[in-house]
Amino acid sequence: MSFQEQIKKTTSLGFFEGQVPLNYKYTMGVAGERFFQTLRDKGDFIASKCPECGTMAIYPLIYCEECFAEIKDYVSVGLTGELYSWTECSSDFKGARHEKPHLLGMVRFQGVQGGIIHRLDVPLSEIAIGMKVIAVLRPSSQRKGSLDDIQCFKKA
């Protein structure tokens, strides 16, 4: 019987709804902690610099991805970078539409591996890949040591 049974009325389909309660706190790590502390306290971006091959990375690392050397040096790279890529985003995490599409961009820094993905505050008509952009930070009293300490990137 059962395998031959069919439910033809979709309204009689039964299901159970539930929610898995889950939350986490993820630490930034040794180099990440330094990056966000510097952002919060000094309003600056730092990159890690490999003592052996000189490779710089943002977000900073504690070992070099190129030569596996341990990194203890961090250098300031300033708040100005280059727009590497961008996109327009019309809905949020949960799928709700934004009133106005958000612009997101990946910003890279001269001679540095990796980059920062953040909001862009640049008129759509002026966006160009390779353009110089500068981070707009929240006032130091409002900074908490998170990515949200950056308000957006705007045209430099």
Partner 1 sequence: MEIKKVPCKGLSTEEYDKALKVDWQPELAYAWDNGIGIGAYLAALKEGKILAAKCDGCGRIMLPARAFCELCFRPTDGYVAVHDTGVVNTFAVSHVNWDASRLKEKDPRHLPAVIEIDGASKGQGILHILGNVKPGDVKIGMKVRAVWKPAGERTGSITDILFFEPVK
Binding site for partner 1 (CB under 8 A): 1-5, 7, 12-28, 30, 32-33, 36-37, 62-63, 68, 70, 94, 145-146
Residue 73 or 88: which CB sits closer to partner 1? 73
Kindly provide the b/e burial profile for residues 36-56, where b requires at least 16 CB atoms within 10 angstroms of the residue's own CB: bebbbeebebbbbbbeeeebb
How crowded is the C-beta side of 153, counted as CA atoms within 13 Å?
Answer: 29
Residue 114 or 134: which CB sits closer to partner 1? 114
Closest contact distance (angstroms) between CB of 58 and partner 1 is: 16
Residue 40 or 155: which CB sits closer to partner 1? 40
Measured CA to CA in angstroms, residue 131 lies from 29, 50, 67, 73 at distances of: 31, 27, 31, 29
Closest contact distance (angstroms) between CB of 155 and partner 1 is: 29
CB of 135 within 8 A of CB of 150?
Answer: yes
Closest contact distance (angstroms) between CB of 107 and partner 1 is: 20
Residue 10 or 125: which CB sits closer to partner 1? 10
Residue 62 or 129: which CB sits closer to partner 1? 62
Closest contact distance (angstroms) between CB of 108 and partner 1 is: 22
DSSP letter (8 states) at residue 138: P
* Entry field: residues in the chain: 156
Q: Coil, strand or helix: which one is 42? A: helix
> What φ, ψ does residue 99 adopt, rounded to 5°?
-60, -45
Closest contact distance (angstroms) between CB of 129 and partner 1 is: 29
